[in-house]
């Protein structure tokens, strides 16, 4: 049953009182206009529970905007939405079209800082740029709809993205993003398939970017860390402070920590960020649910800089070092021809102190 306006309703009870489901919730396709976003197609979701978000079809169906009752949940970069035709793959060119947003997908064959991979074949001949290519691959066969499933009204967008080159990889990402009437949750299911005829390296990272006002001074990370690994010397200086987020700092360097996570017996885990002081201590937070047997690591990108006041909570398949280093450590996945790998994630809003307390208790029980 759908819970809207503080009450539970059956399908019949709601249909008796509305002329169209879009009185309460909707999913619709739109076109973005103006500047570098011109030509982008997007999908707008409104759940009726307070959650609204936008998935950009030209950018791997990544989630560019998300808000709860008009309150932004994510950081938006100065770049804004950018059509993939502006992609600059070498080096750090990826940052010229990084809009931020709730979800940016990194992979499918590598992620991390620019580097060389002498054993990477033709794909790596000119070096591997920041975070791979998949977030700049437009969706094919986009299907957007909503339907009653019993007393639940479910809305979704699904599509496939192909990352391929002649004499190189041929990986397909089938993605489905869904939500429900009255819910403040987003479900993502990704299926990656090697449609080539050779073994293929595969790496994947989900770059979730949280921003003000969810992210603010005094906010706290809730992460069931079995191990915390600083990525550089600067981050190591502040490793004992990884749980807290500070006020904006001038000239701030980014800090990155890699977390090896604990989970339930079936591998299920949760990570969250909580701002208990939001709106006179009403509280606001966001959690991500996934499985550590599939995504065993999480990168924590901590960047309290002026204008770049953002944190990334990034479930991933490897620790974020170069592909040769990850390969040597046995953390690069090798997909056989025809082999598939499925990833399931859940994003959820924590709208008050009680919901924050409940997720904190759950997470504390994992460590």
Q: Quick one: pLDDT at residue 363?
A: 97
Element (H, E) at 162: strand 152-164
Judge contact between 165 and 74, C-beta under 8 A.
Answer: no
Taking only the tens place, the pLDDT of each residue in 196-250 is: 999 999 999 999 999 999 999 999 999 999 999 999 899 999 999 999 999 999 9
**CA-CA distance, 285 to 300, in Å (whole number)?**
16
User: What mean pLDDT comes out for the span 130-136?
Assistant: 98
Q: Quick one: pLDDT at residue 20?
A: 96
**CA-CA distance, 97 to 82, in Å (whole number)?**
6
Cβ neighbours of 344 (radius 10 Å): 15
**2-364 maps to CATH 3.40.50.300:** no
Nearest CA among 241, 192, 201, 195 for reference residue 218: 241
Global model pTM greater than 0.95: yes
Answer yes or no: is pLDDT of 321 > 90: yes
User: What mean pLDDT comes out for the span 266-293?
Assistant: 98
For the chain, percent of residues with pLDDT exceeding 90: 99
pLDDT category at 256 given cuts 50, 70, 90 is very high
Nearest CA among 249, 229, 210, 215 for reference residue 298: 229
Q: Quick one: pLDDT at residue 139?
A: 98
Buried b (16+ CB within 10 A) or exposed e, 200-236: bbbbbbbbbbbbbebbbeebbbbbbbeebbbbeeebe
Taking only the tens place, the pLDDT of each residue in 326-363 is: 999 999 999 999 999 999 999 999 999 999 999 999 99
CB within 8 Å of 104: residues ≥ 6 apart: 62, 98, 131, 135, 207, 209
Q: Quick one: pLDDT at residue 188?
A: 98
Taking only the tens place, the pLDDT of each residue in 22-81 is: 999 999 999 999 999 999 999 999 999 999 999 999 999 999 999 999 999 999 999 999
Taking only the tens place, the pLDDT of each residue in 68-127 is: 999 999 999 999 999 999 999 999 999 999 999 999 999 999 999 999 999 999 999 999
**CA-CA distance, 195 to 20, in Å (whole number)?**
42
CB within 8 Å of 270: residues ≥ 6 apart: 222, 224, 287, 288, 289, 359, 362, 363, 366
Answer yes or no: is pLDDT of 138 > 80: yes
**CA-CA distance, 65 to 354, in Å (whole number)?**
26
Answer yes or no: is pLDDT of 133 > 90: yes
Nearest CA among 293, 222, 286, 229 for reference residue 259: 229
């Amino acid at each position: 049953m759908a819970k809207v306006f503080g009450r539970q309703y059956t399908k019949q009870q709601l249909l008796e009182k509305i002329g169209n489901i879009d009185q309460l919730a909707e999913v619709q396709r739109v076109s973005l206009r103006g500047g570098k976003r011109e030509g982008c197609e997007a999908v707008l979701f409104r759940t009726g529970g307070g959650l609204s978000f936008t998935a950009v079809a030209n950018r791997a169906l990544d989630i560019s905007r998300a808000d709860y009752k008009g309150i932004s949940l994510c950081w938006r970069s100065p770049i804004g939405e950018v059509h993939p035709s502006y992609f600059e793959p070498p080096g750090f060119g990826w940052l010229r079209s990084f809009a931020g947003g709730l979800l940016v997908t990194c992979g499918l064959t590598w992620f991390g800082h620019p580097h060389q991979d002498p054993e990477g074949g033709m794909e790596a001949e000119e070096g591997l740029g920041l975070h791979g290519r998949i977030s700049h691959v437009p969706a094919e066969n986009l299907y957007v709809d909503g339907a009653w499933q019993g007393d639940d009204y479910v809305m979704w967008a699904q599509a496939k993205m192909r990352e391929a080159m002649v004499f190189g990889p041929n990986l397909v990402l089938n993605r489905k993003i869904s939500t429900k009437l009255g819910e403040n949750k987003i479900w993502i299911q990704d299926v990656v398939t090697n449609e080539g005829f050779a073994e293929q390296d595969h790496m994947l990272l989900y770059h979730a970017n949280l921003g003000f006002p969810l992210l603010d001074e005094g906010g706290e990370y809730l992460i069931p860390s079995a191990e915390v690994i600083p990525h550089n010397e600067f981050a190591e200086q502040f490793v004992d402070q990884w749980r807290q987020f500070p006020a904006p700092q001038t000239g701030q360097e980014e800090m990155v920590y890699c977390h090896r996570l604990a989970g339930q017996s079936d591998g299920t885990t949760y990570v969250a960020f909580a701002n208990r002081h939001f709106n006179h201590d009403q509280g606001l937070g966001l959690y991500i649910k996934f499985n550590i047997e599939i995504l065993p690591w999480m990168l924590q990108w901590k960047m309290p800089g002026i204008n770049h006041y953002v944190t990334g909570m990034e479930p991933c398949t490897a620790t974020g070092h170069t592909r040769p280093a990850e390969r040597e450590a046995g953390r690069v996945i090798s997909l056989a021809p025809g082999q598939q790998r499925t990833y399931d994630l859940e994003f959820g809003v924590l709208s008050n102190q009680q919901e924050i307390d409940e997720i904190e208790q759950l997470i504390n029980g994992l460590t």
